[in-house]
Structure 1
Amino acid sequence: MLEALERGGVDTMSDCRRGECGLCQVKILELSGEVDHRDVFYSDRQKAPNATMCCCVSRAVATRPDSTPENPAQSALVTIDVP
């Protein structure tokens, strides 16, 4: 997500690009799916409400990983507020 924001010309703060420093954190405004928190910056308690995410390593994922052609997963979508 961080690289997509940068390609789109959004000025974002970042440093480690490994989910360790928290500089790239963004506020989640709307979420369809779940956040796959891959950072080590937030504690499990901070990750639980899915209110923020480190956009360098985390992503939105579909809620049904066991999808089939007859019963497909819904696409994941996250709307963020970029400071």
Structure 2
Amino acid sequence: MINELLLMNGYAVYVLSAFSFTLLSFLGLYLVTKLQFVREQNKFITKFGTLTTEQANTAKSQRINKEILANVTNN
């Protein structure tokens, strides 16, 4: 009975290969996305992490930054 369940009436090779391919694809996509996020986060910290209060206030008062901040807070 266990053998029949594991063999899946002859479709085990197809089902398990499709399942493993999907799992590996999702894992790869997750790792690539996480790596890109960490890179962009480091770029952001490098560029904006050392702003003084005056520089931060100036950046907040710029029109394009106001539009970006408005879109982020609405979502």
Instruction: State the TM bucket, normalised to the shorter chain.
Output: under 0.3
User: TM-score, structure 1 length as denominator?
Assistant: 0.18
User: TM-score, structure 2 length as denominator?
Assistant: 0.19
State the structure with bigger RCO (CA 8 A, min sep 6), 1 or 2: 1
The structure in which a higher percent of residues are strand is 1
